[in-house]
A and B are shown apart, each in its own frame.
Chain A
Amino acid sequence: MKTRNTEHPTSNVQHPTSNGASARTLTSPLRRGLLRIGCFAALFCVTASAADDDAPREANKFFESEVRPLLSKRCFECHGEKKQKGGLRADSIGALKTGGDNGPALVPGDPEKSPMIQGVRYGDKDFQMPPKAKLPDTEIATLEKWIKMGAPWPQTEADKGKIAEGGFTEEQRNWWAFRPLAKVSPPEVASAWVRNDIDRFVAKKQAEMHLDPAPEASRRELVRRVYFDLHGLPPTPAQVEAFVNDQSPDAYEKLVDELLASPQYGERWAQHWLDLVRYAESDGYNADEYRSAVWPYRDWVIKSLNNDMPYNEFVRDQLAGDEIAPNDPNVLIATEYLRNPIYEWNQRDVRGQWEIILNDITDTSGELFLGLSFGCARCHNHKFDPILQKDYYRLKAFFAPVHWRDDMKLATPEQKAKYEEQEAKWEAATADIRAQMDALTKPLVDKKVEKAVDKFSDDLQTIIRKPGDERDALETQLAGLCQRQMTREKKTFDPMKSLKSEESKTKYKELEAELKKFDNIKPAPLMDAFVATDASAKAPPTFMKSRKGEQEVAPGFLTLLAPGDPDIKPIGNSTGRRTALANWITRPDNQLSTRVIVNRVWQYHFGRGIVATASDFGKLGEKPVFPELLDWLAERFVAEGWSLKKLHREILLSATYRQTARRQATEVAAKTDPTNHLLWRFNPQRLDAEEVRDSMLEASGELDPKAGGPAEDGNSMRRSIYTTKKRNNQNELLRSLDAPAGFSSTAERQSTTTPTQALLLLNGDWPIQRAHKLAGRVEKLDDAWIYTLGRLPTAREREQAEAFIKKRTGGAGAHSSSSSDAAENAGEFKENTPQERLLVQTPEKEGDEFTVEAVFTLNSIDTAAAVRTIASRWTGGKDSLEAFGWSLGVTGEKSRYKPRNLIIQLVGEDDNTNIAYEVIPSNVRIELGHRYHASAMVSCVDHNVIFRVQDLTQPDAQPQTVTVPCSVRAKLSGGASSLVFGGLNKRAPQHQWDGRIEAVRVAAGKLPEQELTSADSSKWKSALVNWTAALGPSTQFAWSGSDARATETSDPYRQALNDLCQVLLNTNEFFYLH
């Protein structure tokens, strides 16, 4: 190697030099982090020796005897090593010249222009230094004299802080991440281990550190690793065997190519990108509104990765797709990137919220593309990195014109034209009907909208009321955000509630029916585009606020790298700013963005980046472990056309990647690199949340490979990337395994272990169901291992498993109560008997409009507040998508709805698509011991529940009918629970029925009154579920009793197998690649 490594800093703690004798222990990140936080300033002062210069001896003497003591005594306390008030340090000339938040502190040679002098003179009462007391006049004079002399500072130290071009020190410019990519050639190493150039860099560094690489992983280890790495899924048993038995010399290469080419690759790697861009499908904050049109972006990411779209294009489309190809929906959708910030539609402080959104886009873009913590420079110059406060606003200005559009469609111009043509036909045909409808509703809607407008501050109201073409860019942006609140008023307008007279309601309904007749010529709606464009070709101003006041800032790149103003030209009705930014970020010689992406790819393959802090290449981050390799990879990546797949291939084919993870640290490694920075083995890794969930589904044989489209809840059998991602209601399993919630960019997943995670995996319904499904496909013991771990059990494991099953089956007690008993007390529900609850098997669901009817007698109510349940489809939870459901029952002693109230509890989505839990009381009291016939008709369409209750014990009692409004709007039968009579999904004694339930019927839809009048269940019309106790058990209905063995299965062998499968799904081997 014609070594370039001298150009890289070699004196930092992570980089032991090649001097073997002084090989140091690699400090743990913990210690290094602390060191950096606490002692960074100290390190800063340690200077390299420099030759003495020819500065006038007198000046030095004056400085050392007069000035330095003065600065030390008066200034350093607040502007020194420990504190940097106002971002200013006064302990080096460089720092003073660069200055703090308010610019340079002094101008050499010109005391009058030096803010420092203005401060000590106490002329301006808002700027007095030191703030405690004015300096004696003699000291002020000393400072003035010194500055007049040109502010000499002894060269040895001045070197360190010397201001180079653009106001930055040499040290700052020389920070590794800002240096241009080095032209590196892979070093020559004599090692048989080396397979490709990557390995040369690694081998050289390892040799320097007296480390040796690990042997190649076994085929079984490798196949599992590479499947998870590229697909996020375990290999099937057949895939394992195919690779293990492939005798061809390029078996591994073939496997890598095959995996990279298959669509599951995109589904795995898109997850990494979605983490980084903080993708989520809801707004965040409290009104966590569902973003129904956001999923096409997720699919775009998957597709782009599968197509190996060059990374520069991938970035450009996301930053400026609207400017690049405004008419191509496949490009436009990429600008969803600009829509990921959290947001609340009902926020009244629209200006404030818009600022927060722009800041969020700026912060994220800085760390995502450039690997710099720009956010730190929002309020002051970055304390550690050469990012000026102004640079923050220069970056922000690129995004300032962004306008969140809700009026666009994901369609080609042809599709739009076709749609418009068809819509015009429909409009013409229905003009009269709609005009009549409008005549009825418009005054009411307008009033509602006007009320919403009134809630904004006066200035916003003025903007809202302006015609669109008179608004400037900022006004367009703000009005757009305000408009959501007015749109909401229109959307939630309910003519049936708002229209006053019955007559107008009837009329409206008739018109509605009339309008419906034209549905056949109405075009299918185009997909909404959840995207952004600029508000206009003229950008709104971007202001930087500092203590000096506001200053307008024009767009620009990092001053250190590109101090000038970029060339920006409007593109159509757009400023062209983001195109300019995208072009700069994707310049082939952009040393930041190229290193950042290459490092991220490396990190996702190895579990740790060459730079361990993938989103922070600054001073608070880690330095690269293999700096030359990083630059070499980045160069090559660009040269190979920004191809991620080629980069993957290069990495995957290396001997470095193929090392086994099954190696314990050697003595040397344990001492010098216990945390494996230098890759003397493969890093063991825990699977990511999505991988765990997907693997469980794969093991149970339930995984649904359907790709793309709208997200589904966690009960779906699809891959986790298609699981609905609501920021406030994450899927429980994924959250517990560290999937990020989507509030901020996540560069690295955590891997935590908590007891609550173990509880969920052991006792949660979802994991248990997977275990049972898995057990169902296991024919012999070996299968359980093959499905879960992709291998046969060891002899010892088989022995243990057999012993486990034997113990269980040998000790099995009597089966559940005989069927003759059951027939005798048919319909009796009693705690601690075999007839606690009746589980109903039905493939169909009742939907959001349904009727439950039952004949029952209640013996007791709960002494606390729990509800005795007649029928339910409910887990009993209230805050997850799995909990969606309902439960009809009677309240307990301490219920806030008073005891013995017949109620229905609903969990579903409300207007905001938030999860809503709601109790709908009938306020009809159920007498104990009386026989009742009751029904509840639930309608999320009419927004009400109609109860009909008749006491059959009293011969002449009239049925009572009560209508109660409800606010749940949808998803009532979308939860994880199945239908249960006499209790909830999970055994919960206080919620169980105590008494008789003779018959239950569940019907989809509302039933006419005359179908609900008969208490004789034999006369009931057929429905979704129709159960009568007298008919005895069937395949559709299964008693669940208190007897443990009776619940899931009465077969002790199956039960033991269930448990064994659950154990295997919980093993460390299942969760880890090690």
Chain B
Amino acid sequence: MSCHHYDHPHSRREFLRRAGCGFGAVALAALMRDNILAADAVEAKAPVPQKFPDHVARAKNVIFLFMEGGPSHLDTFDRKPLLNELAGQGLPASFKAPITAMGETKSPLLACKRTWKQHGQSGLWISDWFNRVAEHADDLAILHSCASDGINHAGGVCSMNTGSVFGGRPSLGAWVSYGLGTENQNLPGFVVIKDSEGTVVNGVRNWGSGFMPAVYQGVEFNVEGAPIKHLENPKGVTNERQREKLDLLADFNREYGATRTDNTELEARIRGYELAYRMQAEAPAVVDLSKETEATKQLYGMDHEETAVFGRNCLLARRLVENGVRFVQLYSGAGSKWDSHKNIEPLHSKLCRSVDQPIAGLLSDLKMRGLLDETLVIWGGEFGRTPMSEQGDGRDHNPTGFTMWMAGGGVKGGQIFGATDDLGLYAVEDRLHVHDIHATILNLLGIDHTKLIYSHKGRPERIDQNEGHAYKKIVS
């Protein structure tokens, strides 16, 4: 039964080349560019169900700029003159009373203190908190009517990432990796970078793969030191020594696998170690910004203290996307720093300043390099904020109507879509639930979200739990 006609390859390299032919197994299959072929070779517990993109993909990559804590749409992109007229009064009786997270229900409306201007040929209204982003007004598709289920941060962040207020479902980036695979086998397909050591609400499961195999999960890149956890050799271990260890391991595994060739998982594990080794070599180079020019760094605001961190992350995002990473998520204000229950003016001022130039720089840079067409840039948080005040000078969470915007990746720039009511409390026109937003993003990536199915416990699971619709008006 067993194949004793196996002849020992003369080198490890030769072996790997051979092994590559029959190579399969879920995890690595997903990392292969030609994922369909690989998935076919395995009795896949996690098949990639069909070939994606299934229609013309407008975007190849995604950079999701996540303002964690809930940025105020009313003071940034959704201008409501009536809010200032009625400031100080209670919410008019014509509005359905909302449930607020903090329980302050009868607080007066809080005026917006921003100066608003129309920008670009399109004349989009944008507040002075985003003056630099406003220079790209004609590239922005602003979605004013976003809505979510999560009223608190845990539910909101989980919902925006996975479509459910519960943990346990795969994140958007995981679905994208599952559907499209990765372009670069030596890097993860889904990378997350935070702007501080703060813990994003719910922690790592925001970029987890839920019920899908771990291979689809987001990998967090550190911005200092080794970009990926455990990427560096153990203390004192040289690359040569690491290589020798891996060679010995491959030797042993080769012998073990020789009479078990039908177990593709064994080969997948061998490849996993090789991939890890290549990742050790490649990942540090990708995050090495020393070859970037000073002009580029300035473009991202890296020369100013307050924009340096997010600027560097935006530049990293561009480099990752250039190197074939499919989905990059950047967190601003990790640890709910955009949350502004009081003192919204100083809190938001500081955060907006920290991201405005970097985001504008990212858009400029992507455009200059011809990458904006194929890269979908998304801006938003887990929810917006209420028109009513909280504790006098803050705003509470508002998941019932808030703004996100998209740029590049085949969206119609210089336009607004959907609307909230006159005070920006509820989405009233073209309401886009998180499920719709996810469906829309997948649609831009060339994926019909109703066909991106993962069979879990016998159930055909979709990102939108069968509830979302892709918003196609946004496609240019």
Contact = CB atoms under 8 A, between A and B. Distances in A.
Given A741-B205, A1074-B263, A986 B2 contact: no
Interface string B187-217: 0100000000101011111001001011100
A1036 to B, nearest CB: 19
Main secondary structure of the interface of A (DSSP, over half): loop
B168 interface: yes
A68 interface: no
Given A286-B201, A620-B460, A759-B279, A684 B260 contact: yes
A344 interface: yes
A866 B459 contact: no
Nearest to B8: A796
B230 A751 contact: no
Most A CB within 10 A of own CB, among B3, B244, B308: B244
A480 B154 CA distance: 22
A796 B254 CA distance: 12
Interface in A667-687: 674-675, 684, 686
A996 to B, nearest CB: 23
A87 to B, nearest CB: 12
Contact of B231 (A664, A675, A763, A1043): A763
A1068 interface: yes
A772 B459 CA distance: 45
B97 to A, nearest CB: 10
B47 interface: yes
Contacts of B43: 28-30, 674-675
Contacts of B44: 28-30
A1026 interface: no
Contacts of B305: 894
Interface stretch (A264-272, A520-528, A544-552, A1044-1052): A1044-1052
Nearest to B102: A455
Contact of B263 (A684, A877, A986): A684
A755 B242 CA distance: 15
Given A664-B1, A878-B197, A804 B213 contact: no
Looking at A751, A752, A763, the one whose CB has the most chain B CB atoms below 10 A away is: A752
Interface-central residue, A28, A662, A728, A754, by most chain B CB under 10 Å? A754
A915 B200 CA distance: 12
Nearest to B28: A753
Contacts of B45: 29, 750
Interface stretch (B135-143, B232-240, B319-327, B410-418): B232-240
A692 to B, nearest CB: 12
B262 A756 contact: no
Contacts of A657: none
A1047 B236 contact: yes
Interface in B50-86: 50
A127 interface: no
A348 interface: yes
A349 interface: yes
Contacts of A1068: 253, 256-257, 266, 269-270
A1001 to B, nearest CB: 26
Contacts of A1071: 269
Given A665-B262, A804-B248, A763 B233 contact: yes
Interface in B257-298: 257, 259-263, 265-266, 268-273, 275-276, 279-280
B255 interface: yes
Contact of B202 (A285, A804, A807, A878): A285
B151 interface: yes
Given A373-B457, A757-B272, A286 B202 contact: yes
Interface string B96-112: 00010111000000000
A1045 B188 CA distance: 32
A287 B202 CA distance: 8
A794 B188 CA distance: 37
Interface in A231-284: 284
Contacts of A973: none
Given A30-B43, A763-B232, A1040-B235, A616 B458 contact: yes
A122 B166 CA distance: 41
A1047 B203 CA distance: 34
A756 B188 contact: yes
Interface stretch (A163-171, A193-201, A1058-1066): A1058-1066
B392 interface: no
B252 interface: yes
B476 interface: no
Nearest to A285: B154
A30 B38 CA distance: 13
B167 A758 contact: no
Interface in B141-177: 151-155, 158, 166-168
A1044 B270 contact: no
Given A759-B228, A763-B231, A664 B261 contact: yes
A879 interface: yes
Nearest to A663: B1
B231 A759 contact: yes
B199 A878 contact: yes
A736 B214 contact: yes
A988 B47 contact: no
Contacts of B158: 285
A797 B273 contact: no
B230 A754 contact: no
B99 A457 contact: yes
Contacts of A457: 99, 103
B16 interface: no
Interface string B1-43: 1110000000000000000000001111001000000010001
B229 interface: yes
Contact of A30 (B39, B102, B199, B263): B39
Contacts of A1045: 236
A616 B459 CA distance: 9
B245 interface: yes
Contact of B213 (A666, A750, A1048): A750
A555 B234 CA distance: 59
B225 interface: yes
A990 interface: yes
Contacts of A1063: 245, 248-249, 252
Given A753-B28, A755-B279, A1044-B241, A917 B103 contact: no
A874 to B, nearest CB: 13
Interface in A683-727: 684, 686, 727
A753 B265 contact: yes
A741 B208 CA distance: 11
B236 A686 contact: no
Contact of B167 (A741, A768, A1062): A741
Contact of A1069 (B211, B246, B252): B252
A1072 B266 contact: yes
Interface in A386-405: none
A978 to B, nearest CB: 12
A641 B473 CA distance: 64
Contacts of A662: 2, 259-260
A202 B237 CA distance: 52
Contacts of B1: 663-664, 666
11 contacts: A29-B45, A344-B154, A729-B203, A756-B228, A762-B234, A763-B230, A763-B234, A987-B236, A988-B225, A1048-B235, A1067-B249
Given A754-B215, A1064-B252, A1068-B257, 6 more contacts: A349-B99, A616-B457, A620-B460, A762-B230, A915-B199, A1074-B266
Interface of A: 28-30, 33-34, 37, 284-288, 342, 344, 347-349, 356, 367, 373, 376, 454-457, 613, 615-616, 618, 620-622, 662-666, 674-675, 684, 686, 727-729, 736, 738, 741, 743-744, 747, 750-760, 762-765, 768, 794, 796-797, 800-801, 804, 807-808, 864-866, 877-879, 894, 915, 917, 986-988, 990, 1040, 1043-1048, 1059-1060, 1062-1064, 1066-1069, 1071-1072, 1074
A-B residue pairs, 6 tightest by C-beta: A743-B168, A1047-B236, A616-B458, A286-B154, A758-B276, A455-B103
